[in-house]
């Protein structure tokens, strides 16, 4: 039973990739708070209601967020980050 549970768990990890290591501008990202090197990536909209009101679409940008898998500190990037592992 435990083995079955583990294989299901492993399958889900593989599917979602799980936390990984990332590079930004060629430099590996480490958590500024706890020095951990594994993160979960996500996207966050930078646009504001004000920008939308004035139709400043150029202001509507999305940022990459890397959330530290250990302490939860969220790192924001306005450029592409590369997953390296």
Q: Is 68 in the site for Zn ion (CB under 5 A)?
A: yes
What residues contact residue 59 under an 8 Å CB cut-off, 6+ apart?
46, 47, 48, 51
Tell me, residue by residue from 27 to 46, as one string, x for binding to Zn ion by CB under 5 A and - for no binding. ----x-xx-x----------
How far apart CA 83 and CA 74 sit, in angstroms, is 16
> Are the C-beta atoms of 48 and 63 separated by less than 8 Å?
no
Q: Which of 2-10, 25-33, 50-58, 76-84 is the region at the interface with Zn ion (rule: CB under 5 A)?
A: 25-33
**11 or 33, CB closer to Zn ion?**
33
Interface residue with Zn ion among 30, 51, 73, 77 (CB under 5 A) is 73
């Amino acid at each position: 039973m435990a083995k079955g549970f583990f294989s299901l768990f492993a399958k889900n990890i593989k599917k979602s990739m799980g936390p990984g290591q990332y590079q930004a501008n060629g430099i590996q990202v480490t958590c500024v708070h706890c020095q951990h090197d594994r993160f979960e990536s996500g996207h966050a909209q930078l646009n504001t209601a004000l920008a939308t009101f004035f139709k400043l679409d150029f202001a509507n940008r999305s940022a990459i967020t890397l959330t530290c898998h250990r302490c939860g500190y969220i790192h924001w990037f306005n450029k592409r980050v590369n997953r390296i592992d």
